Amino acid sequence: MSSDSPNVREPTAGVRRRDFLRSAATLSASCLAAGPVGLAAGADAAQSASSNKPFSRQKAAGIIANARKIVTPNGIERLEAVRIGGIEQWVSVRGMDRGNPALLFLHGGPGYMSIPMSWWYTRGWEEYFTVVQWDQRGAGKTLLLNGRAALAPTMTPERMVADAQEMVSWVSRELGKRKIFVLGHSWGSYLGLEVAKRMPASLHAYIGLGQITNAPESERRGWQFALDSARRAGNFAAVRELQTIAPYFAPGHPSPLKDLYVQRRWLEYFGGSMAHRHGSDAETNLSELSPDYTDAEISHVWDGNEFSEHYLLQQVLTLDESATRRLDCPLIVCAGRHDFVVNAELAAKWCGEVRAPFKQLVWFENAGHLVMTEEPGKFLVSLLQYARPLAERAGDSTQPA
Contact predicate 282/151, CB 8 Å: no
pLDDT (tens, 9 = 90+) of the chain, 401 residues, equals 433 333 333 334 343 333 433 444 443 444 434 444 443 444 454 455 455 667 899 999 999 999 999 999 999 999 999 999 999 999 999 999 999 999 999 999 999 999 999 999 999 999 999 999 999 999 999 999 999 999 999 999 999 999 999 999 999 999 999 999 999 999 999 999 999 999 999 999 999 999 999 999 999 999 999 999 999 999 999 999 999 999 999 999 999 999 999 999 999 999 999 999 999 999 999 999 999 999 999 999 999 999 999 999 999 999 999 999 999 999 999 999 999 999 999 999 999 999 999 999 999 999 999 999 999 999 999 999 999 999 999 888 765 44
Contact predicate 79/70, CB 8 Å: no
Looking at the domain assignment, is residue 180 inside a domain?
A: yes
Which residues form the domain of 303? 66-215+284-393
Phi, psi of 362, deg, nearest 5? -120, 120
Looking at the domain assignment, is residue 132 inside a domain?
A: yes
Question: How many domains does one find in the chain?
Answer: 1
R_g over Cα of the chain: 24
CA neighbor of 223 nearest in space, from 276, 263, 171, 254: 263
Rounded to two decimals, the pTM is 0.86
Looking at the domain assignment, is residue 86 inside a domain?
A: yes
Looking at the domain assignment, is residue 328 inside a domain?
A: yes
Phi, psi of 329, deg, nearest 5? -135, 160
Looking at the domain assignment, is residue 270 inside a domain?
A: no
Looking at the domain assignment, is residue 31 inside a domain?
A: no
Q: Is 310 helix (H, G, I), strand (E, B) or coil?
A: helix
User: What is each CA distance from 196 to 3, 127, 370, in whole angstroms?
Assistant: 37, 25, 22
Looking at the domain assignment, is residue 298 inside a domain?
A: yes
Phi, psi of 162, deg, nearest 5? -60, -40
- In the chain, how long is the greatest CA-to-CA distance? 83
CATH code of 80's domain:
3.40.50.1820
Helix (H) or strand (E) holding 320: none
CA neighbor of 184 nearest in space, from 299, 347, 298, 40: 347
Distance CA 61, CA 139 (A): 21
Looking at the domain assignment, is residue 318 inside a domain?
A: yes
Q: Which amino acid is at 28?
A: S
Distance CA 45, CA 23 (A): 13
Q: Provide the β-strand partners of residue 206.
A: 182, 331
Query: Strand pairing of 331-336 and 180-185?
Result: unpaired
Distance CA 236, CA 277 (A): 19
